[in-house]
Structure 1
Amino acid sequence: MKKIYLVTTLILLAVTACNRDFDQPNPNNPTIASFWKSQTDAVKGINAVYSTFHRTATLYSRFLFYHGMLRSDEGYGSGGDITLNNVMSFNQTNFNEGLTAGTWQNLYIGVFRANQVLAYVPAIPMDEALKSRIIGEAKFLRGLFYFNLTLYFGRPPLVLEPSEPTDRPSNATNEEAWVQVQKDLAEAAVALPVSYTGDDVGRATRGAAYALLGKAYLQQSRYQDAANGLAWFVTGEGKGVYSLRADYQENFTASTENNSESVFEIQFRFNPNENTDDDVDETRINNTGTSIAQFYGPRGVGFSDGAARRWLVGEFEKEKTALGTRDPRLPVTLLFDSTDVRGPQFTMVYGQTFASRYGTATGESSTVWFRKQLNDNEPGRTSEGFRSPNNHRLLRYADVLLMYAEALNGIGQTAQAYPYVDMVRARAGLRPLSQVKPGMTQAQFLAQIKHERITELTGEGWRFADLQRWGDLGPELAVRDPEFTNFRKGRDEWYPIPQSDIDLNPNLTQNPNY
């Protein structure tokens, strides 16, 4: 399918030094007064919000994968980027470090762009149905930006109008921030269509809004609210809209994007005119691909800046399929000495055997890499680069089913939750839980959900959020991730707020214990 071409129009007030009148607008640049006039402007404006996903490395091109995967117990900083390694080891001393401060700042760029759409599009004379959809898209995207700000920074200021240089917003509480996320997503859900066609495929849908809303409620252990929102997929209007792909790997290859399991994808595209991950200079043709494959790629292929923990392999090996074979999701999820079950002499790494590249050592001494973001499935591929076109499946139907089961279990409907986990297990060829573990208690079922989310969702960026909502973050995780020896409860659940913002804004305070 075609992807949206995300126009990177950013509507900013510009000034010129002509006649040294620094308040005079540059007549060659659009202003707020001159821009928001037509339906075309409205479409350009919402496309600019989507384009925030690709800004440099700080959002879905790279850094948000670091935050969700490497900061959790499933991954670690494995390369020569010492700053990355220190931040992922809970050893951050520079609160203006680009890895965290840049993420904060670019998320707020997204909020700023969404706020302009929400402020100015309502007054534009245009097709009313399109106007309503664009407003819904802006609310979904602002909800997503604030979801990340709340998840990783805890107490973000709520900026809900176009920003002014004199604004000095205070921190919201964590509870207030989640309420705003929920409000935006709930309002987006009723305004968005169920699906799109043609070049609009990939825009936010009603299902995307309900899925993220359910995730936001679940993050706060609001199980009934989460169940109510996610029920849209299984008993409501969305029943039958989505389905699990028979081939699990189709969720992670560029040739099978925007398929029936996809609820929301970050749309990437290959740009042959760009060979770095720099897209800030908006006078150039921007890089709208993702650079994560280059940074996660194995040694000799990419930079190997992020790798997976070995304990994950053991998690997949806890249970055989109904036919007595290995879980088929393991070789799709992880690249390691035995991605091919026969071992390093047969495991292929970009055209060479694992053994020829890294030797025949297996076990803890052998590196494990995340595979879902890589492109090694492409024929003839020998390396990675900064311009991967492989979409990131941010929200999948399998995730929705597991969240719904978790929500039902949370409200005491454990027996009713079994079928939704079994749908995910059946695709992997595993026997139904009702056969292997009937009659689980609420606590036992939650423990099983934790296992199921590892085997289904490892390497997709949700592990840190999972650990945070379960209250499982802490030094006790050091038994499988030594970096958690440094974890300080009451501090490291969130990143520090950038010190540069605090220095400029007397109403902004630092997160606890930093």
Structure 2
Amino acid sequence: MVAALAASLLAFNGCNLDYPPTAAVSDSSLTDADYQALLNGVYDGAQNYRLVMEDIAADNLNSKSWYVDMDDNDPTTSSENINDLWQQLYGAVQRCNNLINLVEKHTGTSTVNLTEIAAQARIVRAWLYMRITANWGDAPLLTTVTDEPVSRAPEDSVWRLVKQDLEYGMAHAPAFSTAGYASRVAAKALLARVLLIAPTPVQDKARARQLAEEVIADGHFALADHYADIWHAKTSKEMILQWTNTSTDSGSYGWFLRSNIVDQYEKENGAGSAAPGGNGRYELPVDQALIRAYEEGDERKAASVRHLKLKNGTETYDCIKYPNTDKSDSYPVVRIAEMYLIVAEAAGYPEGVKRLNELRAKRGVAALQTGSTVTAANFMARIMHERRVEFFAEGQRWYDLRRWFNSGPEGRQAVRALCKYRTGEAAGSRPQASDKLNIAENGYNLLWPITTVAIDNDRNLLPNNPGY
């Protein structure tokens, strides 16, 4: 039976429907091993999504060829990149739905805790829907396995399901054992995120702050003494939840991020001189605006970005947060550092400065002084700066830009000021200007289009997002 389940799971990614279904499986024929196999498939579906896509769309990474439409913020309804992401996310949602539905219909006895298994699937589904609604806004809200046409639900409704799934996970998921599995505390940490960043009808900053403080006090997690310990030594207690890659998964995107002149650099400068991180494809260079954003003494820079220059003048700026040459680096889903920034943002100025400075102290940067280096007027910009350098290449920047833009005139102006130089502007006049970021004046392209492929399969997805 396990082999048959594996075959049905492969059908998720091979189907050309807008939200791929899975083969129906009778719950009466499932063994305990089958339920575990289905749960493994749920994790595998989430692991397949590449978090760096949002950093490419934002002002952290550039694309040399493959993702230029996303990098230029000019995707069309025929974008293969956007369609692939849609397919990956909904294929993974359907894996979750399949397992959740089977557990709900289960009537026999079992030696495994099926409630805990379903709770893990619901935490994963919540994370997937967070990505979907952050990137497309209104979206089909599927909770059962189906390939029937489905209309898009309002964005608020999607966030409400995310909240419900995480509440369920808080109550029924297993206790924390390792960051590789969804736990009750992981659900709590993700719910703190949701209650901070979701649109107003779902947002609850007071509870977000409370939950984040509870996670900080949990005892399992701590800010790393050195930022590099998270990514290179991998000895920190920062990770609350991660999608685990092994050498046989080839899931990590580090190969495409790392410099392609490492070998030559080490020939010129000695073995190990370019460490950490071996040679790569260098498809996704680091945006120069990010490099300029790091403050003096910020150890996140050396642990995240590498600058190599050959004797012939060739140079690269690459991301080294995923350095393993066998592609086994795990993807962070939520870390303890985020809880500090959730508390800071939810508390607001000046109360939130305390937690903000606690994080900055661990990262080697000077404390912000209320009324001087941080004020009520620039507090949100300070939060967004800290989130950018803390979560670089972790898939958070794009939605941060969107929610900042939508926060009001000041946020809109701040995001527009990060865009690439416009015609007539003098080089150097805006040091924060991105190499590629190009957000429209009305911000329409902070949402991605529903692709023609998806619409051809389901006309109920119309109307498309404004501007497409």
User: Does the TM-score normalized on the shorter chain lie above 0.5?
Assistant: yes
Q: In the alignment, what sits opposite 1:9? A: 6
Q: In the alignment, what sits opposite 1:44? A: 37
CA-to-aligned-CA distance 1:408-453 (integer Å, 9 cap, x gap): 11xxxx33322211221121233333x5756954333222212222
Matching residue's letter, 1:269: T
Relative to structure 1, the CA distance from residue 37 to residue 332 in structure 2 (aligned partners, 3 Å threshold; closer, same or farther) is same
Relative to structure 1, the CA distance from residue 34 to residue 140 in structure 2 (aligned partners, 3 Å threshold; closer, same or farther) is closer
Relative to structure 1, the CA distance from residue 489 to residue 305 in structure 2 (aligned partners, 3 Å threshold; closer, same or farther) is farther
Quick check: 1:312 aligned with 2:327?
A: no
Matching residue's letter, 1:145: L
Q: How does 1:458-469 map onto structure 2 within 5 Å?
A: 458-469=392-403
Relative to structure 1, the CA distance from residue 450 to residue 34 in structure 2 (aligned partners, 3 Å threshold; closer, same or farther) is closer
Relative to structure 1, the CA distance from residue 176 to residue 135 in structure 2 (aligned partners, 3 Å threshold; closer, same or farther) is same
Q: Is the 8 A contact 1:373 1:390 kept in 2?
A: yes
Please, which of 242, 245, 258 is the counterpart of residue 268 of structure 1? 245
Measured after TM superposition, the shift of residue 43 of structure 1 is: 1.3
- Name the Cα RMSD after superposition: 2.9
Matching residue's letter, 1:252: W
Q: In the alignment, what sits opposite 2:318? A: 369
Quick check: 1:292 aligned with 2:269?
A: no
Q: How does 1:28-427 map onto structure 2 within 5 Å?
A: 32-33=25-26, 37-55=30-48, 59-60=49-50, 64-66=51-53, 68-77=54-63, 79=64, 81=65, 83-93=66-76, 95-122=77-104, 123-127=106-110, 130-163=113-146, 165=147, 167-196=148-177, 202-220=180-198, 222=200, 225-235=204-214, 239-253=218-232, 256=234, 259-271=236-248, 288-300=249-261, 301-317=279-295, 320=296, 326-337=297-308, 354-356=309-311, 358-359=313-314, 367-375=316-324, 384=325, 387-409=326-348, 414-427=349-362
In the aligned structure 2, how far is the partner of 1:159 from the partner of 1:483? 35
Relative to structure 1, the CA distance from residue 36 to residue 469 in structure 2 (aligned partners, 3 Å threshold; closer, same or farther) is farther
Gaps (5+ residues) in structure 2?
12-21, 262-278, 406-410, 422-432
* Superposition TM-score, scaled by structure 1 size: 0.74
Q: Is the 8 A contact 1:262 1:395 kept in 2?
A: yes
Relative to structure 1, the CA distance from residue 302 to residue 439 in structure 2 (aligned partners, 3 Å threshold; closer, same or farther) is closer
Q: In the alignment, what sits opposite 1:489? A: 442
Q: Is the 8 A contact 1:263 1:396 kept in 2?
A: yes
With 147-156 and 481-490 compared, the bigger mean Cα shift is at 481-490
Relative to structure 1, the CA distance from residue 8 to residue 455 in structure 2 (aligned partners, 3 Å threshold; closer, same or farther) is farther
In the aligned structure 1, how far is the partner of 2:118 from the partner of 2:443? 37
In the aligned structure 1, how far is the partner of 2:350 from the partner of 2:203? 16
In the aligned structure 2, how far is the partner of 1:155 from the partner of 1:372? 32
In the aligned structure 2, how far is the partner of 1:450 from the partner of 1:195? 29
Q: Is the 8 A contact 1:110 1:145 kept in 2?
A: yes
Measured after TM superposition, the shift of residue 157 of structure 1 is: 0.4
SS where residue 158 of structure 2 aligns? helix
Measured after TM superposition, the shift of residue 135 of structure 1 is: 1.2
Relative to structure 1, the CA distance from residue 86 to residue 210 in structure 2 (aligned partners, 3 Å threshold; closer, same or farther) is same
Matching residue's letter, 1:329: R
Q: How does 1:20-35 map onto structure 2 within 5 Å?
A: 32-33=25-26
Measured after TM superposition, the shift of residue 50 of structure 1 is: 0.6
Matching residue's letter, 2:181: R
Measured after TM superposition, the shift of residue 129 of structure 1 is: 7.3
The size of the alignment, in residue pairs, is 416
Q: Is the 8 A contact 1:143 1:185 kept in 2?
A: yes
Quick check: 1:499 aligned with 2:455?
A: no
CA-to-aligned-CA distance 1:219-252 (integer Å, 9 cap, x gap): 2355972441442342479532311111211211
Relative to structure 1, the CA distance from residue 224 to residue 493 in structure 2 (aligned partners, 3 Å threshold; closer, same or farther) is closer
In the aligned structure 1, how far is the partner of 2:219 from the partner of 2:443? 43
In the aligned structure 1, how far is the partner of 2:24 from the partner of 2:457? 26
CA-to-aligned-CA distance 1:120-147 (integer Å, 9 cap, x gap): 1131534587212111101111111111
Relative to structure 1, the CA distance from residue 151 to residue 357 in structure 2 (aligned partners, 3 Å threshold; closer, same or farther) is farther
Q: In the alignment, what sits opposite 1:351? A: none
Relative to structure 1, the CA distance from residue 502 to residue 130 in structure 2 (aligned partners, 3 Å threshold; closer, same or farther) is same
In the aligned structure 1, how far is the partner of 2:251 from the partner of 2:215? 35
Relative to structure 1, the CA distance from residue 335 to residue 231 in structure 2 (aligned partners, 3 Å threshold; closer, same or farther) is same
SS where residue 143 of structure 2 aligns? coil
SS where residue 322 of structure 2 aligns? coil
* Superposition TM-score, scaled by structure 2 size: 0.81
In the aligned structure 2, how far is the partner of 1:13 from the partner of 1:370? 31
In the aligned structure 2, how far is the partner of 1:269 from the partner of 1:307? 24
In the aligned structure 2, how far is the partner of 1:454 from the partner of 1:185? 25
In the aligned structure 2, how far is the partner of 1:256 from the partner of 1:401? 20
CA-to-aligned-CA distance 1:435-490 (integer Å, 9 cap, x gap): 57569543332222122223322232211121111115664422412533463634
SS where residue 333 of structure 2 aligns? strand
Measured after TM superposition, the shift of residue 299 of structure 1 is: 2.8
Relative to structure 1, the CA distance from residue 251 to residue 227 in structure 2 (aligned partners, 3 Å threshold; closer, same or farther) is farther
Relative to structure 1, the CA distance from residue 152 to residue 332 in structure 2 (aligned partners, 3 Å threshold; closer, same or farther) is same
Q: In the alignment, what sits opposite 1:478? A: 420
In the aligned structure 1, how far is the partner of 2:439 from the partner of 2:224? 40
Relative to structure 1, the CA distance from residue 228 to residue 486 in structure 2 (aligned partners, 3 Å threshold; closer, same or farther) is closer
In the aligned structure 1, how far is the partner of 2:108 from the partner of 2:169? 21
SS where residue 478 of structure 1 aligns? coil
Quick check: 1:452 aligned with 2:413?
A: no
